[in-house]
Amino acid sequence: METKSAPVDRSILRRSAFWYAGTSLGVVVLFLTLTELVGGYRVAAVVGGAIWSFILSMIVTMPLYTAFFKRKLTR
């Protein structure tokens, strides 16, 4: 069974990709700053945590920004 989804404009996808990638990089910077302030973590733990933070924030923010810009720009 095929499901129909609403077409999404390339500009919406481009704009949302810019924002969710930027947000994810901001989360990584915040994570690295906090681990530097607290200290005492091994390099592997910091790198692994930064990668995990980036991937998780991409998963969370991707549908949020896409839906926001789709709703905002299609009005």
CA distance 75 to 70: 9
51 pLDDT band, cuts 50/70/90, is: very high
Question: What is the mean pLDDT of the segment spanning 44-55?
Answer: 97
CA distance 75 to 32: 39
41 pLDDT band, cuts 50/70/90, is: very high
Q: In the prediction, which pLDDT does 72 show? A: 86
5: left (phi over 0), alpha (psi -120 to 50) or beta: beta
pLDDT for 44 beyond 70: yes
pLDDT for 43 beyond 90: yes
CA distance 54 to 71: 25
